[in-house]
Amino acid sequence: MKEAGFDEYTHEARELFDDFVSRVGCDDDDITLVDLKEQLENDTTFTDDKNLFECFKNVIRENRSHYMSMYKKNEKINGELSEDFIYEHFRCLDCGSRISKERPGTKCFDHTCMGCGKKYQTKGEAKSLNALENCIRMGQFRTNGSAYKTRLNSVRNRECDFICVFYQTKDGVADSLTGILHVPAHKITEDHVIPRKPLKPPARRAGWQGCNILMTSFNIVHLE
């Protein structure tokens, strides 16, 4: 498996800068640091990128008790909190517009860009900073992919990008942000969708088959 390298990220950063220069319609020599700072402040992935740790904390404080009263499973509570965080602070990677939060139960995506219609799915997962950094060094990590056949069709159709939110927990509930990774839809193939064994009786949903998704190509959006 290819190891994630910082040279690759440096190259991507230069490409992003060159793309920015082409979009503002002027040569390198014409751009001042003041102009660059002003343009970038209006063209960011997150509304408050410098304080994402505190933004995440605020979302937890404002919504934790609400979801704890609605759901019994910490996994569901943490998923909703992660989606709220992305909804409140994330901006579309294609056009920079705000995104919506879809209704609970919407299959295979959680957000839709209100500008261009691009779809995103948020995946929240408890992981320490050291564990996340190890995944980045290895160049891969796994996440829950919901129903196998549904996810397989979604991947075939390249329906949505993934925004993976990693956090540390307190009493089983998300508490502090450790990092955010972005996985483009076109980087996920059918081979990345790994089926799990179907549920057996006496499980309430006997016969239901879940899956995991192996993520092997991603961008670092934020790392504490």
Q: Domain extents for the chain? A: 1-43, 49-223
Task: Write out the two tokens for 105.
Answer: 């139960």
Asked if residue 95 has pLDDT above 90, the reply is yes
Model pLDDT, residue 104: 81
Q: How far apart are CA 12 and CA 51, in angstroms?
A: 23
Q: Tokens standing for 152?
A: 């397989």
Q: What is the mean pLDDT of the chain?
A: 85
pLDDT of 68 over the 80 cut = yes
Look at residue 105 in the predicted model and tell me its pLDDT: 79
SS3 31: coil
pLDDT at position 155: 95
Task: Name the token pair of 93.
Answer: 């990677």
Inform me whether the pLDDT recorded for 1 exceeds 70: no
Q: Provide the CATH topology of domain 49-223.
A: PvuII Endonuclease; Chain A (3.40.210)
The pTM for the full model equals 0.78
Band of residue 10 on the pLDDT scale cut at 50, 70, 90: very low
Residue 47 has pLDDT above 70, yes or no: yes
